[in-house]
């Protein structure tokens, strides 16, 4: 039977572990961890993602602080807020919710976040540490994928892994993490020739392209592990109804593969959980403690 890589279940068990760590330190009168989220404008999808993050923080005992700036905020407005949060000793993590309004440069603003508080793992210093395979705050979605594979003892070392997508958020940091774990990694993108043939060589195929149901069984060899990062809400044939799907046409692929991540309930919950892990890691370091979550930062 095909193995389902259940991100929801794993994320709940990691949350239990974080909750225990946080409570045990609070019992020693250490302040709780805190995460500052900066939202600029009113992108509706961002609103949903932020609420999910707030709820997750609440479940494990992380204090979440939302800073909601107006759509027409200037670069200086956002920079000043980042500066204040950088110097606030009670803030452990800063997350700049993307996408930003078009007039703001996300790369430049992320560069202004204190790398030790960069819980999204997107600061160039943290990406640099990843290149050098040094322990640091890791990009949440890729770190979540690696933890999901490891949780089911899916071997990474020596495996031929194809990552489709090369975004700074998913594909590139993921490829580096897998390389650090001794996989042989191919990164494909929109200009890749013979994508189908390349995908068919993969022992583990990871798809992050943002195209609903793009990858079907013709891209996959038997007994592959398929990780679907994409998430899309599609209108169902029934009026007003909708459903979620990924970049992989799962119903076509599942009979052929060894393991797969469902959508929803696969990569998505792990992304949020890794944000909690990063915030807890940053908090433990800031409080001068040995981090108990090092092993979750691949």
Residues taking part in catalysis:
53, 97, 120
Range in contact with ligand NAP (rule: CB under 6 A) among 10-18, 20-28, 102-110, 205-213:
205-213
Instruction: Tell me the CA distances in angstroms from 159 to 200, 206, 224, 234, one per residue in order.
Output: 13, 13, 11, 34
Give yes or no for residue 8 binding ligand NAP (CB under 6 A). no
With CB under 6 A as the contact rule, the residue among 100, 149, 208, 215 that binds ligand NAP is 208
Which helix (H) or strand (E) element contains residue 75?
A: helix 75-87
Tokens of 206: 């990871």
Q: Which stretch binds ligand NAP (CB under 6 A): 9-17, 70-78, 165-173, 198-206?
A: 165-173
Tokens of 163: 């990552």
**From the list 115, 171, 173, 262, which residue makes contact with ligand NAP (rule: CB under 6 A)?**
171
What lies within 8 Å, CB to CB, of 78 at 6+ separation is: 38, 40, 69, 96, 100, 104, 109
CB of 80 to ligand NAP, least distance (A): 28
Residues whose CB falls within 8 Å of the CB of residue 298, separated by 6 or more in sequence, listed in order: 138, 143, 146, 147, 150, 177, 180, 181
Query: How many residues at the interface with ligand NAP, by CB under 6 A?
Result: 24
User: Of the listed pieces 34-42, 62-70, 145-153, 223-231, which binds ligand NAP according to CB under 6 A?
Assistant: 223-231
**Cβ at position 48, least distance to ligand NAP in Å:** 12
DSSP 35: E
Give the pair of three-digit tokens for residue 157.
């070392």
193 binds ligand NAP (CB under 6 A): no
Based on the shown chain and the rule CB under 6 A, indicate whether residue 103 belongs to the binding site for ligand NAP: no
From 40, 91, 95, 169, residue interacting with ligand NAP (rule: CB under 6 A): 169
**Which residues are 69's β-sheet partners?**
40
Residues that bind ligand NAP (CB under 6 A): 141, 164-167, 169-171, 188-192, 195, 208-211, 229-231, 267-268, 271
């Amino acid at each position: 039977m095909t193995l389902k890589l259940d991100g929801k279940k794993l994320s709940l068990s990691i949350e239990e572990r974080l909750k225990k760590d946080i409570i045990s330190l609070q019992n020693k009168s250490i302040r709780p961890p805190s995460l500052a989220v900066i939202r600029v404008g009113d992108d509706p999808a961002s609103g949903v993602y932020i609420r999910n993050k707030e709820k997750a923080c609440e479940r494990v005992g992380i204090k979440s602080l939302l800073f909601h700036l107006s759509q027409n905020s200037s670069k200086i407005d956002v920079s000043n807020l980042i500066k204040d949060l950088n110097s606030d000793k009670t803030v452990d993590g800063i997350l700049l919710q993307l996408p930003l309004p078009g007039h703001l440069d996300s790369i430049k603003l992320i560069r202004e976040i204190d790398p030790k508080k960069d819980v999204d793992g997107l600061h160039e210093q943290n990406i640099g540490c990843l290149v050098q395979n040094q322990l640091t705050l890791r990009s949440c979605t890729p770190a979540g994928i690696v933890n999901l594979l490891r949780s089911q003892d899916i071997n990474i070392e020596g495996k031929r892994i194809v990552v489709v997508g090369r975004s700074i958020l998913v594909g590139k940091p993921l490829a580096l993490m897998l390389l650090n774990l001794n996989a042989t990694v191919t990164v494909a993108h929109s200009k890749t020739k013979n994508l189908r043939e390349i995908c068919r060589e993969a022992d583990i195929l990871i798809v992050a392209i943002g195209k609903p149901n793009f990858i079907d069984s013709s891209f996959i060899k038997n007994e592959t592990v398929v990780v679907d990062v994409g998430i899309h809400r599609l209108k169902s044939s029934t009026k007003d109804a909708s459903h979620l799907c990924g970049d992989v046409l799962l119903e076509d692929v599942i009979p052929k593969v060894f393991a797969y991540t469902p959508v929803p309930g696969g990569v998505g919950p792990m992304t949020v959980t890794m944000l909690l892990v990063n915030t807890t890691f940053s908090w433990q370091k800031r409080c001068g403690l040995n981090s108990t979550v090092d092993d979750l930062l691949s």
